[in-house]
A and B are shown apart, each in its own frame.
Chain A
Amino acid sequence: MQQAEFLKIVTPFQDKLYRLAKRLLVSREEAEDATQEILLKLWSKSKKMGTYNNVEAFAMTMTKNFCLDRLKSRQASNLKLVHSNYRENDSSLQKKIEANDSVSWVQKIMEELPEQQKMVLQLRDIEAYDYDEISEMLEMKPTAVRVALSRARKTVREKLIQKHNYGIG
Chain B
Amino acid sequence: MELDKIERLLERYFEGETTLSEEEKLRAYFSQGEVAQHLEQYAPLFSYFSTSKEEKFTKSIPLSQKNTKSTWSYKWLSVAAVTVLLLGVYFGKSYQDEKQLEKQRARYAYEETKKALDLLAQNFERGTEKVAYLNEFVEAKDKVYNKN
Residues on A facing B (Cβ under 8 Å): 1, 3, 6-7, 10, 14-15, 17-19, 22, 32-33, 35-36, 39-40, 43-44, 47, 102-107, 124-128, 130, 146-147, 149-150, 153-154, 156-157, 160-161, 164, 169
Contacts and interface: CB of A to CB of B under 8 A. Distances in A.
Interface string B14-29: 1110001001100000
B68 interface: yes
23 contacts: A7-B61, A10-B61, A14-B61, A15-B56, A19-B52, A32-B58, A40-B63, A47-B68, A102-B44, A103-B44, A103-B48, A105-B44, A107-B48, A107-B52, A124-B23, A127-B53, A128-B23, A128-B24, A130-B20, A157-B42, A157-B45, A161-B41, A169-B44
Q: Interface on chain B toward A: helix, strand, loop, or mixed SS? A: helix
Interface residues of B, number: 29
Interface of B: 13-16, 20, 23-24, 40-42, 44-45, 47-49, 51-53, 55-59, 61-63, 65, 67-68
A18 B57 contact: yes
Q: Interface on chain A toward B: helix, strand, loop, or mixed SS? A: helix
